[in-house]
Each structure stands twice: as structure tokens, then as C-alpha cells.
Structure 1
Amino acid sequence: MNIIDGPVETTVERQGHGFQRAMIIAALKLLSDRGGEGSRSKAVCLAIEEPELYQHPVQARAFSQVLRKIAEDPNQMAQVAYATHNPIFVDPHHFHEIRRISRVRNSSSHRAISIAHVRVDDVIEKLSGFVPEERVRKQIGAAILNRLPEALFASSVVLVEGETDKAILEGAATRDGAPLAVEGVHVAEAGHKTAIYLSHAVLTLLGIPCFAVFDADSGVGARMEKNGRKSRDIRNAELNERAENHRLLMYLGQSRISDLPPTHADIGYAVFADCLEATLKSDWPEWGEKVEELIQSGIGYSEKNTYTYARAAFEASGEPPFVIKQIIQNVKAMARQGQ
């Protein structure tokens, strides 16, 4: 087959890999578009290794949609399987079809292959007594789509509540010249404390070591009082936080459970007595000073800006709080054990 580009004519073999992949995508799209014209007499199995190679992100997304269309067309009689390292090809609406293949160490320290997959019913069972079934079914697709695509490819995951927590941990981990990503660690945002359950369950069921980090919010009442909230609302918020702390620690398998746990890091989780920012304010004042310096210089931005927080965590003098160092050490150790 020859390609004509203006006055130049060359064979497909002499084109770049990106163009060759585009030709394959075009051929598959044609197959997909003609699938409705009639049923096939023979079944087809498409097995593709790393379909994202040499493709722009938009083109890769289009490719994933074409493959999905082919697989779901009853006239095609086609089965599609691909091995990928790209979260674009993770389909949150067909979560049960995902297989995570990894190399693990067995009891004799030899390498072995592990194949893990999760169904929605598995997640529901794991979260029984903690998250209602209806909420799991409603939110699992969004969790995979918005929070966990990259985490599914990690050696271990730090699961935090929000984007500023992620920024601070990643910035602090870079101080020694060994960013978390270099160790195969991904920091994923759950969105809020009550959303940690779902993401944690999905990751652990897939065999991905997961380290949860959350705030006990012991100062929620003081903050609400400062903002002029009613005493009844303050009391309800304090009771809710205590109950959620208790329940989350139970889910994480802790035998010693406190409704208002102190700041500390354990094997599989870490908690801040109030919140991460309060810990930084008391134990690492240089971080706050650096944030203000960045804002005043026009480099940083106020109102919990993630770029400012991450840069301050990387550049601030002094040393990060011990609990942050423990989190970083623990998740890196998790990643090494799984490799």
C-alpha cells in the first residue's frame, strides 16, 4: 500500500509509527462503521498491545471508543482485548472488564504473576456496613473516571481527601530528590473523607497497596463558631466528625479506635488531629512563611492554591513534620514490597 502526500509517494512501511497506527485505527473504524450492514459468519478476536503508542491523547481516546463500539456491536462477532499503560483506555462504565496484571513475590521470594479484577458486587460486599449499596453503584463509575485512572497503574497509592493534601505531600516528597512517582507511588484524591471508603476498596481489591490519609477535624467546631454558625449546627458537625472518624478507623481494621485520634502515622493510614494545614502551621512554620513569600512575590496565589502549596513544601526551610516523613517512607516501602 502506498501513501500519496502531494508530489511524494511512499509505502506505508516507510511512514512513521504514528501514521501506521492511524492507518490501523482507520481500518478498525471502517470495520466498526460497516458492522451494522449485516452479521458476520466468523468471529474475530482483536488483541492489541499498548494501543496508545504514538498517538495524541485525543486520537487515543477516539481509538478506545472505536474498540468499544466494535466489541459491543452484535453484528461484528468480535472480541477485543488490549494491554495498556494509559488511563484513557480504562472504561469506568465497564469496570468489571478490567484486569490488572502484575508481578509479585511469593512465599519463596520468587516472582509470580498476579491477575486481579473487581466486580461492583465485590466492592459492595467489602463496604457492607460502611457504605450503602445504592451509593456504591451510583458513585463507582465517577470514582474510577475522575479519581483513580492513574492509580490503577501504580505500585502503591496514597489516598488523600483533597488536592491541597496531594500538593503538599508531593512537594515534600521531592525535597530529597526522589519524587513519589519515581518510586511508582501515585497520590490520588478521594474528594472528601467519606469518599475514602470507595476508592480504598477498589484499589485494595485490585491488589494495589493503599495508604489512607485523612483529617480528624477536631477543630471543626472552633472554625464554625468563628464563622458565626449556630451552636446546634456546631454540635451536630462535631458529632458527625467523631462518628466518621470512628467508622473509618474500624474500616481500616484498627483495634484501638478513638473518635478524636491524635496526629500519627500507622502501617496503612495516617491521621491529622485537626487538619494537615493546622499541623503545618504548628510544626513547620517555615512552610507558611514560604507560602506568604510566594504570594507576595507574585509567583504564588492565595486561597489554597495547589501550585503554591506544592512549591512551598519543596522550597521551605526547616524540616517537614515527622508524620509527613513517615507517610512518605511508608508508601515508598509499600511500593518496593510490591515490585
Structure 2
Amino acid sequence: MSAPPRPARGPERCLGMHHGFFAHAAVLGEGTTDGALLEGCAERNGVNLGAEGITFVDVTGRDNFLLSHAIRSAMSVPCHVIFDGDAGLEERKRGSVRHLDGENRREKEAAFEQQARKITGSNADLLGYLGESRVPWPATGSASMYTVCEDDLETNLGETWPSGGERNHQLIDAGEGVSDKIAATYREAALTADVDPPYVLQAMLENVRGMVL
């Protein structure tokens, strides 16, 4: 008889610690999925991030990174930022309105272009704040203070780690997970997928742990 599934656990329960103000180190992400994948990858490697004093903080959007980082840094809490470069966002949005008539489509495409310009500025500002070159469209990679996906995390994982996506769907189909990017399902998929997580997630884990080890 197979063991019963572990209860779902979001990163805010497993890694949360007073929003990172009293942790040894904090990981700042745009949403809970980032922390869930990090936690699942850590557990897969026998690492308990909470026991090492590392907490995950969902800053609820890229516009909140700088303030969240600055406050914790002022309190001598080292931070690692996880963010999406969103390089493919404009093209995906353009594809979603190609069925519209000319003027309506052009108005929406102009708004998408403006959003893309804002994203390039946000990417450059964040990297510059972290002491890196102000690159508008950074490539996927992980450094000591940040991890970035060229497009978005889901797209990157779909291209580099299909096993993770397959495991995610298996959990949902078996009733042990739910759709719509629920963090607990992503954590369990990262922990139990047949193939190890891709290099960028492994490097992120090493860099995050490097803040306290």
C-alpha cells in the first residue's frame, strides 16, 4: 500500500518568518510559486531552508522589489531576488489580439509595447540596484544576489525541465494537487519529479544557501 500523500504546504508556512525581518537571510520573489520551487528543490537535496534561517517573502509584484530589499538590507538581512525578465510577454500578448479588427488591435498592441518598455526599465533598475550591469533583457541565470529567467519561470521550466511539468499534471490528475499555479503543487512536483531540477534552480539553491553558510 502506498503511503498517503503529504499535506500541502505553501512556502509561506515552511519558509515564512515574520516576513523575513528576523531571518538570517531572505529570498524575495514576485509570487509564491518561486518559493515553492525553491523549497521543493531544497527538500529534494535534503536541505531544510527554514532550519538554516532562510525565509521566502512574496513581494506581490516586481514593483515592490526595491523597497522590500532596501528595508531588509537596512536591518542587515541579506537578500536574494528571484524575478522574471518577461522577454516574451509582449509577443504572447500580441498573439492574443490578432483576431481583433485593425484599430482595436493597434490600440492594444500600443499598450503592450508600452508595458514592454516599462519592463525593460524595471529590469535595468533592479539589476543596477543590485550592483550589476543595467541590462534591459537579462539572460536566464543565477548569481549571488539574484536569479532571473529570461522570459518567465513557467516558460523556462517548460523548456528545460519537462519532467517537472509532467509531474505537476500528474499530481493534479491524481487529486493531490490543483491547477492555477498553486504553490504547494509546484513544491511537490519539484520534490518528486523523475528528473532533477534544471541547473538554474540548483544554482539558485546554492546561491541562496551561500548567504548564510
Q: Matched residues in 2 for 1:213 and 1:323: separation? A: 11
Is 1:240 matched up with 2:118? yes
Q: CA offset at residue 148 of structure 1?
A: 7.3
Is the contact between residue 148 and residue 199 of structure 1 (CA under 8 Å) also seen in structure 2? no
Query: Tell me, what secondary structure is at the counterpart of 1:183?
Result: coil
Which has more radius of gyration?
Answer: 1
Q: How far does the alpha carbon of each residue in 1:108-143 deviate from its partner, in whole angstroms, 9 at most, with x for none?
A: xxxxxxxxxxxxxxxxxxxxxxxxxxxxxxxxxxxx
Provide the TM-score with structure 2 as the length reference.
Answer: 0.84
Identity of aligned residues (%): 35
Q: Matched residues in 1 for 2:167 and 2:187: separation? A: 11
1:185 to 54, 64, 76: 54
What letter corresponds to residue 121 of structure 2 in structure 1?
A
Provide the TM-score with structure 1 as the length reference.
Answer: 0.54
Q: Indicate the structure whose relative CO is greater, using CA pairs within 8 Å and at least 6 residues apart.
A: 2
State how 1:290-305 maps to structure 2 within 5 Å: 290-305=167-182
Is 1:195 matched up with 2:73? no
Partner in structure 2 of residue 318 of structure 1: 195
Partner in structure 2 of residue 224 of structure 1: 93
Query: Tell me, what secondary structure is at the counterpart of 2:82?
Result: strand
Is 1:151 matched up with 2:20? yes
Aligned length: 189
Is the contact between residue 220 and residue 237 of structure 1 (CA under 8 Å) also seen in structure 2? no
State how 1:218-297 maps to structure 2 within 5 Å: 218-228=87-97, 230-254=108-132, 256-297=133-174
Is the contact between residue 26 and residue 78 of structure 2 (CA under 8 Å) also seen in structure 1? yes
Query: Tell me, what secondary structure is at the counterpart of 2:86?
Result: coil
| Structure-2 change in CA distance of 1:259 and 1:294 (3 Å) | same
1:176 to 45, 48, 53: 45
Q: Relative to total residues, which structure has the larger strand share, 1 or 2?
A: 1
Q: CA offset at residue 244 of structure 1?
A: 0.7
Q: CA offset at residue 301 of structure 1?
A: 0.7
Unmatched segments (≥5 aa) in structure 1: 1-146
Q: Matched residues in 2 for 1:279 and 1:172: separation? A: 16
Is the contact between residue 17 and residue 23 of structure 2 (CA under 8 Å) also seen in structure 1? no
Q: Matched residues in 2 for 1:198 and 1:317: separation? A: 38
